[in-house]
Structure 1
Amino acid sequence: MHRELQAKITKLKKERCLDAQKLGEFHSKNQQLREQQKILQEKIRELEDRVRSGPCDRCSVTEKQIKKTNSELEDTNQKNLSVISELEAERKTLKDENRKLSLELERLRRSSSPQNVSSETEEGMIPDSPHRPLSLPVASKMKRRKEQNHVRYAETPLSFSYPEPKRGEPSVPFSCNGKSVLVAETCEMDVTCIADEFRRPADPERVSSDDDKSNRNRSFACVEVVRKKDERRKLKGHYCKECEIYYAGLPEEERQKKMASCSRHRYRYIPPSTPENFWEVGFPSTQTCVDRGYIKEDDQPDVRIRRRRPYLAMFSPKAKSQKHKH
């Protein structure tokens, strides 16, 4: 019994020692936790004081940057709005100007429609003429240029009574012996002298001129303008001497038909005073080419296909020498 009690006592002593060790550990841990709590409380106080004092430096910098960017955006928006308003105002003014110009263009077209023939005289001015065309809008000029398709000529008789020239006016020398002068409907020409050999009498039905202007006495070659299109179409054109000589051997009907179908620059637009051999300058006639040997006709044409014929240069001396040898 005594041994059992001693064993129990030793056992209880060991347990008591262990409990004392555990209490010491718990006490040390409690002390550490209290110290940590104190540190945390101090940090909390510092943070509260910082919050109460105001924002931090970084936050203030970011706020300043945000305010600056917002102000810049507002300024750019204001500038854009001002530029947009200016562009809209300019667009409105341009629209008004465009409307005014279109109305003026229509008015000019309407006003120029009854005066197409009179405006043709200004548009087709000869460069050497003393009269100069007026400066008109480009659109009306383009319209009249499209309408001005043909230039016809007419012959009008001139009176032989020459009044004395007025003081201060230069006297115009006039040495023409003819009774008719070539007249174009586009511009006023200088004094033109027409030889008798090139003069062709005009049909009275196809010559159109104003009675008031023809009755006046003038000391210079007068240009009469044919106003109406139907009368201009009835005007008789002048054939050049080259065409008359070229079609002289044909019958009358065929000759008239050929000369009517002749090129316009020879038939309608060339005055009757075309000099002889005028068209041979740079472009000799067919008969001249034949006489000079430029055009050679084969008396015995080759039966072979034309593309297989040997090429002979017309103007080379070698071809002529080879032909003389044969």
Structure 2
Amino acid sequence: MESFTESLNRLKEVHENEVRGLQNKLLELDSERCRDAQRVEELCTKNHQLREQQKALKENVRVLENRLRAGLCDRCMVTQELARKKQQEFENSLLQSLQHVFILTNELNRLQGENEKLKEEVKRLQGPRLKPQCREGASDPPSPLLLPSPGARKAIKEKTLEGQEEAQDDHPEKSTGHRTSPVAKISPSANLPETRAPDVSPQRISNQLHGTIAVVRPGSQACSPDQGPPNGTP
């Protein structure tokens, strides 16, 4: 009996162990089935998403094909929009510049008109003053003599030397004909008319020098070589 009881107990233990092993396997299979079910659900979800994406891509491809058939793409449309904006900005800037130019032109014309009026006013105010100044200038003493040009000084020196030589050689003789003044022959800047030379005395030379220098005196007339000084002094 004891051996039978022990065998029975052993059998029960083996049975329980086998049952536990089968239960564990069943649990594992259940968990795997759950995981498989989750994977299937995930795959179904991904498949659905991929199908939706495929539909969207097909729609985009169709739209792009239609745009390509129309001749414009997104980049071309963006570029065209930017070009239109730039053109609009340029036109606005050009219009503003033209407005500024028009305003400045009107201002310039106005200022020129005012300038002309001021010039006329100045001329009108200076007109009555010029006559008294001319009268005062006529009564003023003559201005100081201006120095002749280098050519005139050279001509005067040559004239003086020639006059002294002729005065030493032919002092008592007097010429009766008419001849051109040596100063006019030598110096074109003197611009003296042809004059008589009755004698070549020192007094005569001094008179001629006085007449030559008087040519460059402002506001006075050139003295003729054959005329003496107003006061009878060289």
Structure possessing the higher radius of gyration over alpha carbons: 2
When normalised by structure 2's length, the TM-score is 0.37
When normalised by structure 1's length, the TM-score is 0.28
- Which is helix-richer, 1 or 2? 2
